[in-house]
Each structure stands twice: as C-alpha cells, then as structure tokens.
Amino acid sequence: MSNPMSGGGMAGWSMLRSMRNRDEVSTHRLKRGVARRIVAFAHPYRRDIIVFLATVVLAAIIGVATPVLAGDVINAINRGGTEAGRLVVRLALFIAALAVADALLSLAQRWYSARIGEGIIFNLRTRVYDHVQRMPLQFFTRTQTGALVSRLNNDVLGAQRAFTSTLSGVVSNVIQLVLTAAVMFTLSWQITALSLVLLPIFIIPARRVGRRLADITREAYNLDAKMNATMTERFGVAGALLVKLFGQPEIEARRFGDRAERVRDIGIQSAMYSRTFFVAMLLVASLAQALTYGLGGWLAVTGGVSAGTVVTLALLLTRLYGPLTALSNVRVDVMSALVSFDRVFEVLDLKPGIVEKPDAVAVPVGAGRVDFRDVRFRYPSAAEISLASLEEVATLDRTVNEPVLKGVSFSVEPGQMVALVGPSGAGKSTLSMLISRIYDVSDGQVLVGGVDVRDATLASLRDEIGVVTQDSHLFHETIAENLRYAKPDATDDEIWAALAGAQVADLVRALPDGLDTTVGERGYRFSGGEKQRIAIARLLLKAPSIVILDEATAHLDSESEAAVQRALSVALAGRTALVIAHRLSTVRDADQILVLDGGRIVERGRHEELVAVGGLYAELYRTQFAVADSPTPFVDATGPEPVVMPLGTYRADEVLPPAAAN
C-alpha cells in the first residue's frame, strides 16, 4: 500500500497553519484596493509567474496520470499474453518518463518560486526600509522598534508566500482535485462516494485541534515577543549596567526563566497537537483506502470493475484528501497573504515627514546665513504620523498638539555665534531641527543662504549643516567607518586631520587597532568626552558652513568638558554657529543670545546687556553663578557649577589653566 500522506502531507500542514492564523485574519480589516495594489506590485514578475503556474499545472496532471497508468499495468498483467508484456514495458517506460518530467518540473518550480519570492522580498524590504527612513523623527519616538522590524521580516515573508506557496497551492490543488475527482467518478462512482464518507470525520475534529493550537501558538508568540524585548533592553549596555548596579540578576533570570518554561511547555503541547493532527489524517486516509480495497476488491471479484481500476482508485484517493482539506481553508490562506501585504502597505502609506520638491534648488556652498521669519510650529499628532499597530495601542491619539514655536524671527550672519537659552520645553531643540529640516515649519520661513529650506535639495542642505547633540550616536562599527559616514570618500589623512582637530588623534593612535577599532554599541567603549570628540571629528570631516551644538557638553565632567570645548573651538572657527546650552558659561561670548520662553523670543542681546536688563536671562544666570562681586561662589542644592571655558576662548593648541582643567 502506498503512503496515504504522500500526496496530502503538505496540504495537511497548510491546513493546520491556516487554522493557526484564522483568528488573526478574521480580526484584520483590509483596506479597499489591496488586491489591485498586489497585482500592480507583481506586474514585473508576470512572465515568471505564468511559467511558474504552467509548471504547477503540468505537475498536477502528471500526479493524476501516474495512478491511471499504474492501473493499466495491472490490467495488462491480468490479460496476459505476449502483447500484454510489451504493453507493460511501454507503460513502465512511460511512467518512468513522467517521473523524470515531474522531477524536472519540481526543479523548475523551485527555481521560479525562489526567483519570484526572493525578488518580492527584496523589493518590499528595500521599499519599506527606504520609506521608514524618511518618516519624521516623532514617528520613531512613538513606534515600538520590534513591531517595525516585524513588518520588514514576518509580514514581508507572509506577502512573499502569496506568490509562492499560496498561489501555487491553490492552483495545484484545484487542478488536482478536479482531475482526480473526474477520473475517480468515471472509473467507479460507488467507490469514490464511499471513500469520501470519512472526510467529515477528519475535518471536524481537526478544526477543533486547530483552534486550540492557535490559542497556544498566540500565547507563545506573545511570550517570545516579551522575551525578545527583555533581552534587547537587558543586553544593551545601559540595561546591563542598571541590572548590575541594583544587583538584580537573579530576579531577571527567574522572570526570564518563567517565560521560557511556559514557551517550553507550549512547544511540547504544540508538537503533540501537530503529531495528533497528522496521525489522524494518516489514519482516516488509510481507512478510506481500506474501504476502497474492500469494496473495489468485491466488485472486481464479481466482475463489476477490473483489478487495475481498484489500484488506480486507491492511488488516486491519496491525491484527493490533501487538496480537499487544503481547499477547505483556502479563504484563510488567501486572506493571510492579503493581510501580510496590507500590513506592509500600511507602512508604505504613511506620509514621509519631509519631501523634496521636484524643482528644488541647491543651497549656496558656504553661505552660512540663517534667517527665521515669523516661524510657527506644532508637532504632528500621533494619528498624522504613526500606526496603532506599531505602538501596540487600540487607537491613536488624535489630539492636535499645541504650537511649540509662536512667531520666532531672527537672523544669524555668516561666521556669527548665536546662543539659544531658556527653560526646558521653551522650543530650543525644536528650532534647531527646523534648520536642518528634520521637521518643516507649520507657518513662516526658515532660510539658509537665502533659500527657503523647503525649496532646497536635501543633499545640499545636509552638506551645509553639521550637528553635535548631547548624546552623539556612534554605530557599532570601526572609528573609520563612523567618521566616513560624514564623508564616504574621505582618505585616512583627512580622517587623522579631523581627529587631530577634535583633540582625539593621540587617543586613537594609542589604540591597538587604531582607526579599525570597533567603538561598541552606541560608542560605549569610549568615555562620554571621548565619544563626543569622535563625533566632533565626524563634523570636522564633513566641514559644514553651519554648526548646531545641542547641549554638546551637558553630561560631561569638568575635565572631559574642557577637552570637548577645545575641540569645539576648532570646529566653530570661521563657521556660523547655533549653540543650545543650559550652562550659560558656554555662551557668554556669543555674538547674540536669544532667550526663548513659551515658544517665543522674550529677550535678545549680548551677555552683559541681558544681565543688566534683569529679565529671564539674568534670573537663569543667577541660579547658576555667584551674584555679581560676591567673594564666594554661589552654591545651590546641587552643588557648585563646574568652571567651564567659554566657546572660542582658547585655541586648539593652547593649554587650559589649572582652574579649568580640574
């Protein structure tokens, strides 16, 4: 007896997988036009898909033809005689030829399937990755990184299956079912009808098993997601340090172990449910074959059918149960593929925060002038830039945010240093992001070199602007690779010159691997001051005409800050500078100080002028430093303010006095 699962094993697994996905698919609401977009997306692969489907059809025909020929062999043997012998040989050769053809078709199917599937994966992943990079910064502050990565992996793979396993499975199963049923009913409708009686006995319990399997699989997915999130947080440098500082490794291990233990138990349950499913399918198909042999044998003995017909029916039966069970869940299979595409399209349909105009112009090289003209800005709401499924919330917040900037106007001449100061939440960092066009203004204009940034090419704008933040990010790559991110074609000599200007060349030369030293995750192999100086070297290599410093020394100790200040004095030489600082000592020598409060500029002028006015700046200054002419430094609840040299006070080759170095 042939294996009853040989023609239905894969179909049975497809049915089981469909049952797992049934609940998720049923709760997802597809947008209109998804199918049309899928067809348009598949258009470049239309020829490959046609050839692929042709191989699937031919393979299905061969699958039905082989049992028919096997029955003819049995009938020829029963007839006997010389001619029967020759017929048996010819039929055997024909069966062998079909087997070879089936093998070649299988290889062709796999090649076209891989070509189509991998091509779709490539196109979807690259399009989603490119699109996500163009999303506004606030999108990343709201989105769960793991959920976003899942779109690039799980959903893209699900979409790929639409053109490989789902499409080929539907076509193959339909053709195989129609041909098999037609041949079987032609040979003996009585045997065929009796064989199908057992099908409901298999499908009804299998659906219950599938529902239970779906429940525990969903629980396992949730536990896996939580374990992944735990590992991502705890294995990062900051998370690992927190665990060690609070001495909680045993508690962390126990919490993780509890979840892993449940996943283990679910794995055992899932394995048993799956095995039960396949054993049940094997048993039902075997019983159906037994009925076929019993009734068919009795009819053959009484002369109702030939012995070859009985063999043909028994072999065809194995190719009937698989397609029937698979097609009973074809809607779920198709919907699963559509849902995967729809989830990918959800991301692609999000509007990028910044779009370059078709007729954009380049910002003049080295212009250096910055103008704000009655600039107003509010951050977009969650509903404007995010997805509920990426935030793991039921619905997105549609509240319209209040304006952050309310009519800001000022100008920065080339080579000037302008400082932005004010309380937290005043809009200082937001204002700097509008210059580099991380966001677009809600109203008003931001001009760089006389060009509205919304009319400028993004490449020219980024070439003219360099930014150093309070927590400069370094990729987990080498020092050279991190620096070349600013200038991909930079030579080693240019890199060393930038490192020297950033006061960090001697440190890098002392490293065993020099420029090839890997900086570690987020640059944690270096101290805060060293990391900041490497970031300044990256800025020097870029050589922008406008430099934005956003709290670049906020979290550094006095010694590191002094070294970074010397590096910054080189970075700012001859460049337009916009400096955001809470430590007012760093901006005392600014050409102009802008004091922001509540999204407006409430004061402007030089340090001495603003202190003399006695307004908000003077109040901020008094909270950080001693009262004028006081013989002792002012000390608040947090301790004395470290002595910090003003930007631009010292040249890169000068040595700081002891008061600044300590």
Domains in the chain: ranges and CATH: 9-218+277-349 (1.20.1560.10), 371-388+399-661 (3.40.50.300)
Phi, then psi, of 415 in degrees rounded to 5: 85, -10
Neighbour count for residue 556 (Cβ, 10 Å): 21
CA distances from 389 to 244, 335, 658 (A): 34, 18, 56
Q: How much is the pLDDT for 555?
A: 62
Alpha carbons within 13 angstroms on the beta-carbon side of residue 502 total 27
Q: Are 329 and 18 in contact (CB under 8 A)?
A: yes
What local confidence, expressed as pLDDT, does residue 376 receive? 92
Q: Are 137 and 319 in contact (CB under 8 A)?
A: no
Distance of CA 315 to the CA centre of its chain: 47
**Interior CA angle at 349 toward 346 and 351, to 5°?**
130
pLDDT score recorded for residue 630: 38
**R_g of the chain, CA atoms, integer Å:** 36
Task: Determine contact, residues 436/454, Cβ cutoff 8 Å.
Answer: no
Q: Residue 258 belongs to what H/E stretch?
A: helix 249-301
DSSP H or E stretch at residue 41? helix 34-42
Q: How many Cβ atoms sit within 10 Å of the Cβ of residue 520?
A: 14
Both tokens of 364, joined, read 């003049």
pLDDT at 631: 37
**Angle formed by the axes of helices 330-349 and 9-27, to 10°?**
50
Q: Which two tokens stand for residue 230?
A: 């735990």
Note the pLDDT of residue 5.
Answer: 40
Q: What SS3 state is found at 32? A: coil
Task: Give buried/exposed letters for 283-297 (b at 16+ CB in 10 A, else e).
Answer: ebbbbbbebbbebbe
The reported pLDDT for the residue numbered 602 is 92
Q: Distances in Å between the alpha carbon of 37 and those of 16, 28, 33, 164, 624?
A: 28, 18, 6, 17, 60
**Phi, psi of 621, rounded to the nearest 5 degrees:** -65, -40
Closest by Cα among 396, 399, 352 to 379: 399
pLDDT along the chain (662 residues), means of 10: 43 47 51 75 85 88 87 83 81 91 91 84 84 81 74 75 74 83 84 75 66 69 70 71 71 82 82 75 77 82 82 81 71 71 82 85 87 90 74 67 88 90 85 87 91 90 85 83 88 89 86 86 75 85 86 68 75 84 77 90 90 87 56 35 36 33 31
The pLDDT, as a whole number, for residue 130 is 86
Global model pTM greater than 0.85: no
Chain CA centroid to CA 178, Å: 42
To which residue do tokens 């049309």 refer? Answer: 36
Residue 414, burial from CB neighbour count under 10 angstroms (0-12, 13-18, 19+): middle
- pLDDT, residue 341, reads 81
- Please, which residues have CB within 8 angstroms of residue 165's CB and are 6 or more apart in sequence? 14
Q: Could you tell me the CA-to-CA distances from 126 to 123, 353, 630 in Å, in that order? A: 5, 19, 63
Q: Are 529 and 560 in contact (CB under 8 A)?
A: yes
Supply the pLDDT for residue 98: 92
The two three-digit tokens of residue 242, written as one number: 């927190």
In three state form, how does the secondary structure of 235-252 look? Answer: HCHHHHHHHHHCCCHHHH
Exposure letters 187-196 (e unless 16+ CB within 10 A, then b): bbeebbebbb
